[in-house]
Amino acid sequence: MPKKAQSPKKCRRAPWDEYFMMIAVQAATRSTCDRKHVGAVIVRDKTILSTGYNGSVRGMPHCDDVGHIMENDHCVATVHAEANAIIQAAKNGVAINGADIYVTASPCWNCFKLIANSGIKRIFYGEFYRDKRIKDVAKTAKIELKRVKLPDVKYPDVLCDK
C-alpha cells in the first residue's frame, strides 16, 4: 500500500471572509489614485460576480500621472471601487441583488447609496473610512455592515507554519 506524502508545512485554509477580502486587497493594487488604493469584490454563494478598484473614468488620464482634481479634500477624478464593481456587473449582465460586497475601506455616502439600491445585503470592509451615516442607514435598510480584520503580513506566508 503506497504511503501518503507528508507536506513540509502545516497550512490552514483562509476563512471565506478573509479570502474574499484578500481578493479585494489584490484588486486595490490596480488603483490609479495614490491618495487611497481601494478594491471591491461582489460575491454571492461563495462565487465572485464582479471586482472593482478606484480609477479614472475610462479613457481619461490617471490622476497618478496628471494630478488630482480636489474638492473638499477628496480626489474627484476617480470612480470608486464599489461603483466600478457594480458598473462591471451591470456591463456584463450579472445580477447582484442579494449579494455581498467586500471593500478594503468602508463605502463613502454616495457608494453606500449605490450599494443599497443595487440590492446588496451585506457590506464587509477592512477599515472604517470617514462617513458614519452609513451605520444608521444600514440598520434601517437592513444591510449588514461587518469589519473584516486581516493580519499585517503578506499572503500566503500567513497561512503556513514556518
159, 54, 44, 55: which is closest to 105 by C-alpha?
54
pLDDT for position 7: 61
Residue pLDDT, tens place only, 99-110: 999 999 999 999
> Mean pLDDT over all residues of the chain?
89
SS (H, E, C) the chain: CCCCCCCCCCECCCCHHHHHHHHHHHHHCCCCCCCCCCEEEEEECCEEEEEEECEECCCCCCHHHHCCCEECCEECCEECHHHHHHHHHHHCCCCCCCCEEEEEECCCHHHHHHHHHHCCCEEEEEECCCCCHHHHHHHHHCCEEEECCCCCCCCCHHHECC
- Say what the pTM is: 0.86
CA 73 – CA 4 distance, rounded (Å): 59
Which residues of the chain have a pLDDT value below 50? 153, 155-159
Catalytic residue among 18, 71, 82, 127: 82
- Is position 82 annotated as part of the catalytic site? yes
pLDDT at 155: 43
Q: Over the stretch 133-156, which tens digit does the pLDDT of each residue have?
A: 999 999 999 999 999 988 764 544
pLDDT of residue 14: 87
Give pLDDT, residue 158.
45
Residue 35 has a pLDDT of 87
